[in-house]
Structures are given as structure tokens and as C-alpha cells.
Structure 1
Amino acid sequence: MTTPPPLDAEALRARLLDGGAYRALDVVTVTGSTNTDLVAAANAGSADRTVLVAEEQRAGRGRMRRSWVSPRYYGLHVSVLLRPVVAARTALSWLPLLAGTALAETVRETTGLAAELKWPNDLLLGGDRKAAGILAEAVTTLDGMAVVLGIGVNVHHDAASLPESAGGLPATSVAAEGAEVDRTELLARLLERLSEIELRWREGVSEEAVDGGMLERYRPLCGTIGRWVRVELGGGRVLEGEARDVDTEGRLVVRDRDGTRTPVSAGDVVHLRPARR
């Protein structure tokens, strides 16, 4: 397989910085983890809407301390530093869901693939095959609360260059699902969409509406809703039932066999089968 071309960093800066969507954008050839780097940058005072992109990560991190490794030039590894000032701190739990919304909408529009989200924010293609993941990290700095959003997307990988699984799911990529896309264009559209969604959320969030009006945009993209799921809550606790909804606080609402509805704010979700009707 021919090695894909590098990202066009100058084109990204011209498109994303000149229009004011972001304050800073750097593309590095290799790093350990873009999230780790931006957490350090947040503590050093980096501005709201700072972006770091790596062509290759050697110590990328996913949820539940999983690793995320990809050959150079094959995927997208991008982190965004955000410093939103919102009325309720609980509203910050919506940021990874906003990133998932931006990612799923962008992949659908750019590739034509039927992308959907597995709560809390894996991107699935071709059913239950994982093509991307999102990791949000809150940072308390001298300049106030910040959140670093990390997004990793498998783009050009063929079957031979994919891991056997990703977070317990079969791994896939945009290319493996039959779509061809330019990484620079995909990244530019993703960051433009994330900027638009996050700004709307900032403007709409309040003590009474921590979703900032974005729940109705997230719900249609969430393939977990309507599925029979097992949620591993930690400490050996497991919840099994039908994922009925995502509520205004971004929690997955699971109805067990007794009809009890439990909102889940954090947990490892396994899709078992479609819900019984």
C-alpha cells in the first residue's frame, strides 16, 4: 500500500486561523500523545481554541487507559484545548458528545458512510466496527478550568494495518469501508464543524439547559439508543438493559428488565443486541 501524503499544515492554518475559528494550530510529525502535550500547554497558559495535530502518535491514549496507535500519515490524531466559561460546571460533560456530533456529521457528509456514535463517543462504521475514538480530559489551571478534547480517526488503514480490535470492537477505517478521502480536507471540515457546534453550545448553555440545545442534534447520531446493552460501571458493577435515551446532562438512560431507568454518566458500554420490542 502506498504511503499517504502528509497533511497540508499551511492550508489548515489558512483555513482555520484566518477565519478566527481557532487561535493556534500546529502540526508535528510525531509525538507521544497530543492530549498529553495540550494538557501541558493548558497548564502553561495556552489560549482557548488551541489545536495540536500529529502525523503519528507513539503513546496515544483512549478511554479506560486503552492505547491508540497508528502508522504515520494513515490517521488523524488531533487535540483541541477549550476554555469555555459556562454557568454550570456539569455542562462540561457535554464537550465529548459535541466532539462526537461533529465527527459523525463530518464523516457522513465527507465520505457518504453511515457513521454513528456508540455512547459515550466511539465512532462506528459498517455496524459495530470502530473507526474513531474521543478522549476528553479536564484540566484545572491558573487561568481556570480547561478541557482537552482528543480525537483519533482511522482514515487510510487497510485490513493489514488495522489492529485486531479497538476497545473490544472490531477495528475499521474510512478506507476499509470503501471510502476515499483527503485527510487535510477531512480534518479541516471536522474542526470547522466542531467550532460551529461548540460555539452554539456555549451560547445556549445555562443552569437549566447544560446541553446548550445540542441534545436533539446528538440523538439521531447515537446508535446506542434502542440497543440492548451491558454497562460496566467499575468495581465489578454491571448494568444490563435497553438504552432508552440520552438525557439533557449527556447521560445514557438504561431501562433494566424490571423497568427501572438508570442514568449512567460514565461506564464502558457493550452493544449486545437490538432492543426487544
Structure 2
Amino acid sequence: MPIRGPALRQPLVGVQGVMTIVCGKYFVLSDYVVDSLMRENSDSRDDLNIQQISCVRGGNSPANTMPSPYERLQAKPQTGLNIGSLTPTQRSEVRTLRITSSWPIGPNSIDCRTIYYLEGDEQAAVELFVEEHRDQLEEIDWTKRNPIKSSLSQVIYDKILHELGERRISKTETMVREDRPNGDVWLIDRKWYENRPDRRYSVTPHKSAPKVAKLAGQSPENVLKEIDSEIITESAVRSYVEGDKRLLLEYLRTSDKIACLPITHDGEMAVKLFPDQSTAVRENSEEQGTQ
């Protein structure tokens, strides 16, 4: 019969040769020992209420009261976990965030702990990975080949960069926007972004449809502020955009920060800002500048 330590207000010591009971621990005791404890600690009888004692006969050990590896994974991603005790079904749900490549990064070599998590907990796993390795990760030049990129899926890699603040990612129905610390903004067709990560940052126009646009040191809000016109045409944004110019107009059309209507102006693809949009553009531009 195990006794739950927190039910006791003082340790119970040395009854019939039994070791000290420490609050917060579970010990398997025979009925005889329980009776002895209650007799010798009559002042604590109320705290030894049998309703608070979980009866487990047959010699269960204190370790059985600890969460299993699978229960720990259900709570949150883990490091240093022994998954050998998991059932085949449980093991099939386990995923790992593990860096399999290694080479010097700056003055040091990157050495990352494996993160174990359950399928669907990718974001929490990334947050733990960044928390555990932030100092090493901040030394990486993310514009070059690195062990993180070569070891992980593109989805997890993107989440790590977002968590580190190297890329601030936002999405519209058809577009993905990436803001970089150097002020560059990438506008990428969403399907292309998700299906062709190997060509994600190629600004060479694709023959079938616009895919990628880069604004060097500019945000879309700043571009609108500089153009300062109610009608924004493809030719008007040409000098600001490297790659497919139409993607900036598509981003404006689908962004919930920019109120506008798609139109054709003098035979060109364009958008028309709502009359009060100039104020909103200035506010968005100032907000981008403070981030």
C-alpha cells in the first residue's frame, strides 16, 4: 500500500526498520507497516486519511509513479530521452530534430542535442531546439551552406529561422512574405514556396507565371509611400523590384494590411488604393521601421 508523501505534514521515520519517508515520494508498504505508521503518528492521523492513499498491492516500485517517456513526450518535446521502452505504436509517433552534419561554425563547432517530439509538435520542438542552442545558432551565416540546412527538412529549417528572427514569415492566400534582418523583403508565390524550396530565391522569371520578387532594403509599405499615388502600376514598381514585378501587386491585392482593388490602367496590371489608404500605408511603413 503506497502512501503519498504530500499527504503528510512531517516525515515518518524508522517504523519497524522502514527507511525514512520523504514528502513527495511514494513507497510500497505492507498493511502492517501502514497500521504501525498510523499508530506511531497518531497526531497525523487526519493526514493519513485512507481516502488519500492509492492502494497498489503487489510491490510496485516508486519509479512507477514517474511519467513514462511517452507521457513526457505528450506533455512537451524532450531532450535526453530513452525511447527504448516505447511500444512499436508509440515509437511510430516519435519524431526527432537531429543535426547529422557537423563542421566548424566561426570559432566553434556546432554540437546540437537531439530533440524528441510527437508528430504534430514541430513548432514546440523548434522552440526547444532554439532555446537549447541559441548561442551556437546565432554564429551561423545563414546565407551560406550550413549543417542545420543540410540535416533538416525545409519546413523545420524555415521554422528555426523564423524563431531566431532571421526571417519573419507571413502568408496571404496566394503569397509568402519573408522579411530579413538586413531590410530585404522577399515575395514568393505560395505554391512555389511550399513545393519548390530549391528554387525559392531564384529571381529569374518563370516562363509560366510570376514566382519570386525581391525588394532590396525596401518593404512594400515603403514602396507605396515613395510612389505616393492612388494607382500603383507594374511600371511604377519596376525600379523597386528584382524578379517578377507583378508579385508586388499580387501581394498588395491579397494583404490584409493594404486596402486596394485590382484594376487595369493604361493596359497595365495595377491596383487602386482606397481613398484613405495613404494614411494606413504611412502607419504600416512606420511600424515596419520600428521592428
Higher RCO (CA 8 Å, separation ≥ 6 residues): 1
Same-fold call, TM cutoff 0.5? no
Q: TM bucket by the smaller chain?
A: under 0.3
More helix by share: 2
- Which one has a bigger Cα radius of gyration? 2
Q: Normalising to structure 2: TM-score of the pair?
A: 0.23
